[in-house]
Every structure is written in structure tokens, then in C-alpha cells.
Amino acid sequence: MNYISRTIGKLFLALSNLILVGYALVYSGYIQVSKHFNRTQLEKLNPNNIQELKDHLASLPPEYVERRNQEQIEENKIMFAEFEDAFSKSCCFLCGNKLEKFYPGEPCFHWFLRPKDIRKKDFNNYLSEPIGFFKLESYLRWVATTENFIKNINDLESETSKSKLREVTIKYKNIEWSLHYGKTDLEGHSNSKNADFPHYHIQMLIDGNPFIRFNDFHIPFSKYDLIDIKLMNEASDIIKFGHSRAPGMSVLEDEELLNEMDQLMVASDNPDAATFNTQTMASMPEGMTMSGEKLQEMFKENLETKVPLRHLIKKYFPEVNIVTNIEPGDGFPDKKTRNKR
């Protein structure tokens, strides 16, 4: 496969998804929207006035939306498989260079993997121009997912700082990235000479030590970042943002999705490597006890099938009452945030 021939636009079509709720049409930033708007219409879109786009999305026939959704799901699946294949060969799916290679004149997202000889100052020009917040977040999610599914991505809404509108921490091996923006970042700091525009911040740690600090760069949002943010804020009734191939631990905050995932979970032989830690409390009705023989049979089936005990216990003891707590597994990254100066 010639990875160099892959276009950045095509990859980003599969990276970050915007989904029409109810209709379930998968969007992917402006790339997917461009399939329904011509270039002239896209160029005229005003991030501060997206009513035309909202009206267009709302007018799409449900059967068309369903068909495009299924097509997008399949395309995402194929693209992620190709990304994984390239990554396993230490090849960058975006630029075609080896992941460990750094070429100053060829900026690429794989620079955030810290290829040999790269220095922080090499990011000065790169991060002074829009590179796409959601594109970068999605790329880092894909990278993290090659090591651990879900577990390497802390996007828990419950852990987001009150001053931030969006905040995520992602890790891969010994590298950890944190991206965020708050209301004042999105508006731009009017009293600042180098941050009076909509922007976001990134921190990059290597072995726990800062390589890039939050205050090092004010990275401009792209026009299409601002459109996506506007859609998420003003069209949440028809649009949902998600990462179909690289979800994070926020799945624990989605009750419906969590119930579906719970049915697919299996017991891990290595608790330290498990995606989730679960604790289940079981109690029998007053006057009833658990048979020791049945307990032995249940534990045996658990060892043989890897079906979690909380799922088996109802089979052996239909009357039992259980309460299960599911938490992130060991090694899950804490969210990192910028301290006020």
C-alpha cells in the first residue's frame, strides 16, 4: 500500500464524527458536510451564523441519512484498519514518512509522537496556523487506541474543569497529551497581543516531564473547528459529536452505551491490564442463602468462559440482588489542566 498517496482529507473524513440524532447521519467536520454543499457554499459559511447549514441538515430525508450513516460507518472501519496497518509498520498514514523521522519542512501530526531530533521550537511556525482541534484530538485518539481501547483516553465530563468548555487527556506509552479550551479562549483574549483570537491549548508530557506546556502556544481554531463548535452548541437536538473508532472513558457516562458494553465484557486474566475495574455487591432476600455447591459451579464457569460473575450470578441465584460499580482500570490517566498564572 502506498501510504503517501493517502490524502489528509480522506483520513479526517473518518476521524471526528458529528451524528444527526434521530436520523443518525455521521458527519465529519466540514469534510462530510462538503458532500452536501459545494465549495462556494462552504467558503461562504460564517462560523457565527450556521442557520443555513442547520436548515439543510434538518431537511435531509431520513432514508438518505440512514444510508449515508451506514456508508460512513463502513468507511471509518476501513480507514482505521489502514491507519493501524501503517502505524504497526512505523509509517505515518498522513505524510507517508516513518514515524521516527522528522523533516522540518514537512509538518505533520506525527510530530506529536516526538520523532528523533525534534525540538519544541520546531512547533513555533506549525502551531501558529490552524491545524484543526478536532482533527488533532482524533489523531491522538487513534494513536492511543492502538495501545489500549478506551482506557488511554480521559474524556470524562465529570472531571472537566469548571472553567473549560472541552478538556481531554490522552496517553500513548510514555507520552501524554492534554488539549483544552475555555470560554475566554474561544472568544480570544482582547487584552492580549498574541492571543486575541479564538484558540486552544495543548500540553505534552514525556515520561511525566513537560515537552510542551499549556502556555507555550495559543493554537488558532480553524474556521471549520468554529463551525463544528457552533453546531454542537446550537444544534444538539439534531447533532451529536462522537468518536466511533476511538472512544474514551466517557462511555461510562452514557447509560445506554454502558449497558450494551457491559454485555460484551469478559473477565481479564490480568487485572492491571483491564479496561475497567468492577465491584459487585450481592445480597440474597432475607432467610435465603447461597448454596456452596452452586457457588463452586459458578466460579468454574467463570474461569472457563470468562463471563463476569455479575452476569453468572443471576443464572445460579435468580433471587439475588446485585449492585455493580464500574470504574476506569488501573493506569487510566488523570486529566491535566492549566493553572492560572
Q: CA 275, 136, 17 angle in degrees (round to 5)?
A: 70
For residue 340, what pLDDT is reported?
A: 53
- For residues 213 and 203, give the distance between their C-alpha atoms in angstroms, rounded to a whole number: 5
How many other CB atoms sit within 10 Å of the CB of residue 184?
14
Question: Rounded to the nearest 5 degrees, what angle is found at the Cα of 176, between the Cα atoms of 170 and 219?
Answer: 80
pLDDT of residue 210: 96
CA separation for the pair 313, 294 (Å, rounded): 10
**What pLDDT was estimated at residue 41?**
57
Buried/exposed 59-68: b ≥16 CB within 10 Å, e otherwise: eeeeeebeeb
Cβ(336)–Cβ(167) below 8 Å? no
pLDDT at 8: 33
Return the closest-CA partner of residue 212 out of 221, 223, 200. 200
What cell does 187 get? 472568544
Residues of the chain with pLDDT under 50: 1-37, 341
pLDDT recorded at residue 61? 83
Rounded to 10 degrees, the C-alpha dihedral 157/159/165/167 comes to -100
Q: What is the pTM of this model?
A: 0.84
With a CB cutoff of 8 Å and minimum separation 6, the contacts of 305 are none
